[in-house]
Amino acid sequence: MKRQGIRASGNALGLAPALWESPFLRACRGEPTPVTPVWLMRQAGRYMEHYRGVRAGGSFLDLCKSPARCAEVAVFARTFLDVDAAILFSDILVVLEALGLPLEFTEGGGPHLPQPIRAAAQVEALGNPAQAAADLDYVYQALRLTVAGLPPHIPCIGFCGAPFTLAAYAIEGGGTRQFAQSKAFMYRESAAWHRLMEVLVSALALYVNHQIAAGASCIQIFDSWVGELTREDFREFVAPHLSRLIAHIGAGVPVILFGTGTGHLLDELIACGPDVLGIDSTTDLAVAGALAARHGVAVQGNLDPCLLLAPRPRLLAAADRVLATAHSASGHVFNLGHGVLKQTDPEQARALVERVHATSTASGRA
């Protein structure tokens, strides 16, 4: 089963014209826009004083489970930066917790899963996907409150982790450089690997469709670490599952598929059926944009987040270059190549957004 792309399915959700015709959703569909839309991955986060204030005194996971505070940080970041889309405030790993894997975030050290999956029996012991999706009701509440807090012409992006990236966290138990445990499990326990991917996809499909019902008008799938795979392994161990997830996402909602280091996988990722391909700074946007355009797919990216740490003139010149390299794309959403770093000056992020709007309006090519 292949999903009918956003360009063919039309406004199946019946979104209000102001939203359906917003620059962000138009760019996702490959339609011309008066200005290049921009948002920033991790636009709400520790680099913002407002976020630190809202989080103060509690853990990150507590914040994720407080819908009103999630909406507050998501809406504040959207307004402060004047970006063209908001993104749900949550984390990709809450789905693993809902499936029964204990999850904690160490202060400054990132995620930690103290009971990682290392044996086939642990895959069988995972929770029921429908129950897991139902237990994530706090996410849908956060989404509803976020959408209610946004101006009517601003879309809210819902999201989930991709099956590969989530499986890698579940097996490694946290961050990793080599993905040795994950790949060993994939090669040695292949049946259990595929079963794990199936359970994840079942839960994720329900999860993102609940997000759409709660008001998300776009879904981004974060496959942050998929670039670690060879083409052969991607095809055998990941592509069928990722395709199935995308195929199950409701019609009329653009799907953005993001990964890092994916220069060698672009055609494979496109074949999984996304409407927009999110690419990082190690991949040439001109090449990716032209390739994606041949398949009727838009692109998102790809300014190196470290450029936000550069002197202002270098940052702005680099932003102009990203806009220029997107000339061959059929639809461009400006973004970073990965998330905003915590040492970023928020004023730099704001200046970047202003520049993208100014340059793309002036060039008139958008």
Give CA separation, 311 vs 48, 245, 323, 344, 351, in Å: 19, 41, 19, 12, 12
239 binds ligand CP3 (CB under 6 A): no
- DSSP conformation class of 189: S
The total number of residues written for the chain in this structure: 366
349 binds ligand CP3 (CB under 6 A): no
Q: Which is nearer to ligand CP3, 60 or 179 (CB)?
A: 60
224 binds ligand CP3 (CB under 6 A): yes
Beta strands across the sheet bearing 255-258: 86-87, 156-161, 218-222, 255-258, 276-278, 298-303, 332-336
**Strand 218-222 relative to strand 110-112, pairing:** unpaired
* Listed ranges 83-91, 117-125, 317-325, 344-352: which one lies at the site for ligand CP3 (CB under 6 A): 83-91
**Active-site residue, 207 included:** no
Please check whether residue 143 is in contact with residue 200, taking contact to mean a CB–CB distance below 8 angstroms: no
93 binds ligand CP3 (CB under 6 A): yes
Nearest approach in angstroms of CB 51 to ligand CP3 is 7
91 binds ligand CP3 (CB under 6 A): yes
Q: Which residue has the tokens 């520790």?
A: 46
Q: Which is nearer to ligand CP3, 70 or 270 (CB)?
A: 70
**Active-site residue, 55 included:** yes
The whole-angstrom separation of Cα 321 and Cα 108 is 33
**Active-site residue, 42 included:** yes
Nearest approach in angstroms of CB 240 to ligand CP3 is 22
172 binds ligand CP3 (CB under 6 A): no
The whole-angstrom separation of Cα 334 and Cα 323 is 8
Point out the residue whose Cβ comes nearest to ligand CP3: 224
**Strand 86-87 relative to strand 156-161, pairing:** parallel
Candidates 222, 234, 237, 334; binder of ligand CP3 (CB under 6 A) is: 222
Q: Which is nearer to ligand CP3, 59 or 190 (CB)?
A: 59
350 binds ligand CP3 (CB under 6 A): no
What phi-psi label fits residue 333: left (phi over 0), alpha (psi between -120 and 50 degrees) or beta?
Answer: beta
Candidates 76, 140, 159, 185; binder of ligand CP3 (CB under 6 A) is: 159
Point out the catalytic residue in the list 47, 51, 140, 169: 169
Q: For ligand CP3, what does the binding mask look like between residues 33 and 72, x meaning CB under 6 A? A: --------xxxxxx--------x----x------------
Q: Which is nearer to ligand CP3, 46 or 350 (CB)?
A: 46
Buried b (16+ CB within 10 A) or exposed e, 10-46: eeebebeeebbebbbbbbbbbeebebbbbbbbbbbbb
Beta bridge partners of 218: 157
Point out the catalytic residue in the list 7, 46, 118, 350: 46
308 binds ligand CP3 (CB under 6 A): no
Point out the catalytic residue in the list 29, 47, 51, 91: 91
Give CA separation, 65 vs 110, 140, 350, 365, in Å: 17, 11, 28, 42
Token pair listed for 68:
């009103």
What is the binding site for ligand CP3 (CB under 6 A)? 41-46, 55, 60, 87, 89, 91-93, 105, 110-111, 159, 175, 222, 224, 339
- Which residues are part of the catalytic machinery? 42, 46, 55, 91, 169
